[in-house]
Structure 1
C-alpha cells in the first residue's frame, strides 16, 4: 500500500496526517516507510525532533523521479506513506504517480476547497496513465458543532471524489505531539485525537483491502 498525502495549498496538515497515518499503520503491525517528498522537509524535521526510538524510517525523496525510484525501496515494506510537495509541479506529479491512493487534506475553509481543484486535476491527469490510482478527501482541523464544519463535505461534492468518513478536529495535541517528534497516539493515547487517527487508519486500511479483493 502506497498512500500519498498532497494538497497544493500549504498549511492544510499534510505532514500531521502523514506522520500519524504511518504511526497508526505501525500500530497495526505493518512495516512502514515514511517518504518526505516536500522540499520543506517537515517530516524529516519531525523525525529529528524525536528522542524516542523511531517508529519507522523517514527518508527524503523530494525529486521528480520519485515514481521511478520508489518501487525498489518500497518492496521491503508493507506500507509507504508519502508526505507530498505543495504546488502543482513536477514533485507533486511524481508523488501522485508513485501512489496507489492520494489523500487530499482539506480544512473547512472556502480557500482550501477552492485550492483542492488543482490537486484533483493532477490526480485525474495521472489516472490517464495509472488507471488504478484513487483519491479521497480528508477533512482536517474540523471545528465541531459549526455550520462550516458540517457543510464542508457537501461543498466537496462537485469534485466527484470520495470524502472519508473519518475526520480530524482542531486539537492542540496534534501540534504539541509534533513538536516532540511523537504521534498523537504516543503523546496522548486516550485522547479524542488518537481515536480520530485510529478511525482514519482503519478506514484507509479497509478501503485498501476492498481494492485488493476486487
Structure 2
C-alpha cells in the first residue's frame, strides 16, 4: 500500500503525519519506506536529526516521475508513505498518481478548508486515470472545545471525500519528538498522541480494505 500525505497548502502537518504513521507501522513489524517528495526535504531533515538507529529508510524523490519510478522500489516494502510537496504542480500530481490512498491534512481553519479545493480537484483528475485511488481528509492540530474544532468536519462535508473519524489534536509532543528525529510512538508509546496515530492508521487500513473490495 502506498499512502500519499498531500495538501497544496504548506504548514498543515504533512511531514508530522507521514513520519508518525511510518513509525507506527514500522514498530508494528511492517517493512516501511518513507519517501520525501517535497523539495524542502523536511522528512530527510528529520531523519538527519536522528541519533538512534533508523526505524525505516527515508529517501528523497522530489521529481515529477515519482509515479513511474516508485512502484519498482515499493515492491520491497509492505507500506510506503509519501511526504508530498505543497502547491499544485507536477510534483503533487505525480505523488497522487503514485498513491493508492491520498491523505489530506486540514487544520481547523477556514484558510485550510478553502485551500482544500485544489487538492480535491487534483485527486478527481487522477481518479480518471486511476479509478481505484481513494482519498480522505484528516483533521490535524484540532483544538478541543472550540467552535471551529467542532464544525470543521461539517464544513468539509461539502467536498466529495470522506473525513476520517480519527483526528490529531494540537499537542507539544509532536514538535518535541520531531526535534530529536524521533516519533511520538517512540517517545510516548502509551500516550494520547500515539493512540491518535494508531487510530489514524486504522482509518487508512479501513480505506484500503474498501479499495480492495471495490
TM-score range, shorter-chain basis? over 0.9
- The secondary structure found in structure 1 opposite 2:158 is helix
TM-score (norm 1): 0.98
- The secondary structure found in structure 2 opposite 1:102 is strand
Alignment of 1:4-153 (within 5 A): 4-153=4-153
CA distance in 1, matches of 2:132, 2:32: 22
CA distance in 1, matches of 2:62, 2:22: 18
Aligned residues: 214
CA deviation map 1:74-116 (0-9, x unaligned): 0000110000000000000000000011000000000000000
- Name structure 1 gaps, 5 residues minimum: none
- The secondary structure found in structure 2 opposite 1:201 is helix
CA deviation map 1:100-144 (0-9, x unaligned): 110000000000000000000000011111111111000000001
TM-score (norm 2): 0.98
Structure 1 segments of 4+ aligned residues over 2 angstroms from their partners:
209-214
CA deviation map 1:12-48 (0-9, x unaligned): 0000000001111112221000000000000000000
- Name structure 2 gaps, 5 residues minimum: none
Q: Is the 8 A contact 2:134 2:211 kept in 1?
A: no
CA RMSD for the aligned pairs? 0.9
CA distance in 2, matches of 1:116, 1:102: 13
Q: Corresponding residue for 2:181?
A: 181
More deviation, 84-93/200-209: 200-209
CA distance in 2, matches of 1:133, 1:199: 21
Q: Corresponding residue for 1:191?
A: 191
Q: Corresponding residue for 1:154?
A: 154
